[in-house]
Chains A and B, each alone.
Chain A
Amino acid sequence: MFSNIVLREIHQHILSFRLHLTMILILLLFGLGSVAFIKGHTADRQSYEQVYSTNLEKERSWAEKYLSNYMIRVRSLMLAPRSDAFITDAKEKMMPNQFWYSGFCVFGFEVPNWASNDLMESFAELNWVYIVSIIIGFTVLLFSYDLVSGDKENGTLALTVSYPVSRGMLLTGKYISVITVAMLVLLPGIVLSLIILLLSGAVVFDGILLAEIAGFLAGTALFVACMAALGLLSSIITTRSNVSLLVCLCIWLGSVVVVPNSALFFTDKLFPIKSSQSVKERINQAQQAVNAKHKAIYDAVKGSNVTAEEHFRMYEKQNMEWFQAEKTIKDSWNNSLFYQFSGSRRLAAISPVSLFEQLSEALVGGGLVRLRKAWSDMSLYQSQLLEWFKGVDAKDPESMHIYDPSNTFGMTHKIVDFAIVPQFQERRASFAERLDGARLSLALLIIYTVIAFSLSFVLFVRYDVR
């Protein structure tokens, strides 16, 4: 009996005009998005490789001069464009993805200002998550706004309820059918996109990518379920279908436009951070204090017989403290940046659309998950590089083993083969890390769905069908 209800509903939907129209729109967008992705990704890849190889050449020339020269130079490292960005790019182009570091210190991250055309208004990329969150989310509401109120207006609801079927089953049947239909609308688009990607050869399909796609589909099903439950709820609490439609539109506008766009404003009020100007000033002050302290030390030894080595040791201390002063302040500031950003995400979690975006971002291991991982890996790499360097330096009898972060006087001037210098390798987030990033959004999406559906269940059981 249950399957009868579901099948009947699906049948009705499949014949409907709105389904065909959406299907065409979705196919169009998926096709266009994939083609544009392939072009854009190839170009991004090329420019990334160009940057990477010039950087590498520069580093090689430093290392080939002598190793300690390589250690003290400040260099940048950029994260590679992800090849699974067709699922979601997680707005990585607008996020920091460049690190500044030397062998002695990791300085910070920044948004590369050359990643995009700044004369053009920033726009969202047409990837799977965008299409699903905007178009499918909208369509699901369009499919579900008149599930109950529409039937009531037709007069069919009274007839259906008069069958020996429990109301709960009827509602569940309607609900499941909407989810199924939405997924059916989506599938041809995804298949089309996959075919285009496969034929182009721009993306290598491996196990991880397939798992990511599966995860995306599961996330989509959950998102669709959430939106459908909201649509269902609105169709029950209103008596007329056009009012229900208005309520649905308000829900959609709220979650697509209002919440994500006002998150910035409310975050600044709720999770304030120090201004970058004041941080700069504090660093300046701390560094000046270091300089003043060491000026006194230099003055004390002036005129006495100081050996060059003792001088180098003094420099080392000063420079080390100078770097440390900056690093302590910068690190706490960077942490506050992450804290503020996580806060903004929690604010945006009111909207199921934002939740879905966060969920898929974590599933593909992009965006914030990626940045945080790369950031901590970077510090790890830097300390390993320093340890390695100290090992090499220890073997050099001519070196004074003075590890000054900005002068090479006291360190080995031997030339080392650049190939054996450890290089930073970005490691992709593991399954556990991705799941950890997705935890909150997953839980909230499920909670929203369950609340909306159980509320509509209760209300439908008490519904007046007349």
Chain B
Amino acid sequence: MILNIAFKEFYTNLVSARFAIGFLLCLLLIPLTLVVNINDYKSKVTAYETQQKEAKEKLKIRVWSYLQPRIVRPPESLSILSRGISYQLGNYVDLTFTAKPFKAQGKAGASDNPLMGTYFSVDFCTILAIVLSLLALLFTYDACSGEREQGTLKQVLSNSMPRSSVLLGKVLGACLTLMPIILFCYLLCALAIVLSLHIMFSADEWLRMGLVLLASILFFATFAFLGLFVSSVFRHSAASIIVCLLAWVFFLFVVPNVSGYVAGSLLETPSEKALDANTYNFTYEKWREAKKFRGEQPRGAFAWEDSRPAAGGAIETSGATPVFLEWYRQGNKVVYNHMIESAEGRWLLEKEFVDKQDRQRLLAERLSMVSPSQVFRLLSSSLCRTDVESYKRFMESTHRYREELIQYLRNGNLFDSYKFFTAVDPNKMMNEDEYINYRTEGLLKTMAELDQWYKDNPDKSWASIYTRDEPSVDRASLPLLDLSDVPPYQGVPGGVALSLKDSLVKLAVLVCICVILFYLSFIAFLRYDVR
């Protein structure tokens, strides 16, 4: 009997204008978002490939201090379903010995034009949330009040059917009507994925997409119950549609923005500028301390060939006096130990900052969970791994990897080796006098003579005495380090189970809202005055 009512609802809905328009709306919007998001994903993949190439380049090193691997986070192919936060955060991290990774860099997939940051792009799940909830409300707003107005409700209830069965029949009917639309949307999406040359889904990803489909059915049911509830509270369908639509605008368009805005003013986060200043001062202080460990530079210790500094103050020299090389090597071990330790201190400052940001984000998310559509969007971004939790997991993995690298260098006593900062043989380097002799083409023989020359010719530029270029070593001819022993980056743990764990709370909230609304509509319908 319940099925009878469900089928009747299904048929009346199927021939109605709202079904046709809803279908048309999906037919227009879904392909548009799919095209937009697949295009965005493509540019993300391109960015990823460029980063990977640069990461490979970065590993062609001749000295250990340049071991600053770039870890690139591969783009999540499910981001075409739900963008989540992935387009706002960076996608790679450059590891250094002197600081722990704080924030991922690079804006993968963001427009090259900084002015265009004012536009948002919507994803499949957002469009689905907007259209599904609207359709759910449109299919149910007059379930009771509309039938009462037509007078058919009286007749239906005068049968020997319990009211609860009638209600269940109506819910089932609405779900049946919407099933073709939901399935159609997902089929379109699946088709786009299969046909697109740029996306390959693994079994795991198909599975997670299936979970998103289940979540959207649950989400749809929630709004269907909301519509039923409103419809069985109001006597006129004109009133119930207004309430439904205002609730819809409130949940879909007001709550997400209000929650962010309110969370922003309730929990303030310190400005990153202040953090930058603090960390800068901290690091500067630590460098000054570190410099002390090097001691006085002995006379005759200097480098000429490109002591090109890299991030974290690492240098590579290929031309320096043996005195310089020895002095520098002795300093390194202490200095690097000190810097690695102080990285912890700097990280404390940064961690506090990130934690505050994260608390603000959590508050905004919790506030926005008033709205079932936000819960659905959060849920789908967890399932698609485009949420903050996945980002944090990535950052943690880079932290772990950095520790592994440091351990590796320590085990091999590499911090205090010559190989740490130079690829040349220190015994084959010129000393100071040889250097001056070489540059002046034999005009001056020693350091003392050069000093004397400067005294005699105070207004002359050095260019007039150094007639020959610096003795250069062809860097390309120096051997690259063999990195095959270095532990590889393990990647971020994955698996459906982990995504499920992340999304469990949101799922529970959605189920709760759904059950409460069902209960409310049940009660309201049982007490409904059919006259």
Contacts and interface: CB of A to CB of B under 8 A. Distances in A.
Interface in B105-139: 111-122, 127, 130, 134, 138
B463 A273 contact: no
Given A95-B117, A124-B257, A307-B461, A119 B357 contact: yes
A303 B464 contact: yes
A56 B361 CA distance: 33
Interface centre among A123, A138, A307, A344 (most CB of B within 10 A): A123
A323 interface: no
Contact of A40 (B17, B119, B243, B264): B264
A305 B464 contact: yes
A111 B114 contact: yes
B218 to A, nearest CB: 22
B463 A47 contact: no
A109 interface: yes
Contacts of B272: 113-114
Contacts of B50: 277
A306 B460 CA distance: 7
Contact of A17 (B134, B239, B245, B357): B239
Contacts of A276: 112
Contacts of A415: none
A95 B115 contact: yes
B396 interface: no
A394 B368 CA distance: 63
Contacts of B258: 29, 32, 126
A250 interface: yes
Instruction: Tell me the dominant secondary structure on chain A's binding face.
Output: helix
Contact of A22 (B246, B271, B459): B246
A264 B117 CA distance: 9
Contact of B361 (A95, A117, A311, A337): A117
Nearest to A275: B112
A308 B463 CA distance: 10
A172 to B, nearest CB: 24
Given A121-B260, A298-B463, A109 B18 contact: no
Contacts of A371: 115
B25 interface: yes
Contacts of A94: 117-118
A130 interface: yes
A329 interface: no
Contact of B119 (A17, A21, A273, A344): A344
Given A123-B260, A261-B121, A265-B39, A344 B116 contact: yes
Given A95-B117, A341-B115, A25 B357 contact: no
Contact of A268 (B111, B118, B243, B257): B111
A65 B260 CA distance: 45
A25 B242 CA distance: 13
Contacts of B253: 134, 256
Interface of B: 17-18, 21, 25, 29, 32, 35-36, 39, 50, 84-85, 88-89, 103, 111-122, 127, 130, 134, 138, 239, 241-243, 245-246, 249-250, 253-254, 256-265, 268-269, 271-277, 354, 357-358, 360-361, 364, 388, 391, 459-461, 463-464, 467
Given A36-B265, A261-B120, 10 more contacts: A109-B114, A117-B264, A119-B388, A120-B263, A120-B264, A122-B260, A262-B36, A273-B113, A311-B463, A367-B118
Shortest Cβ-Cβ A-B pairs, 9 listed: A114-B272, A123-B260, A39-B265, A341-B115, A91-B118, A18-B242, A264-B119, A94-B117, A47-B271
20 contacts: A36-B262, A40-B265, A111-B117, A113-B272, A114-B272, A117-B361, A118-B89, A119-B354, A120-B264, A123-B260, A130-B257, A135-B254, A261-B36, A264-B119, A265-B36, A307-B461, A311-B461, A337-B115, A341-B113, A367-B118
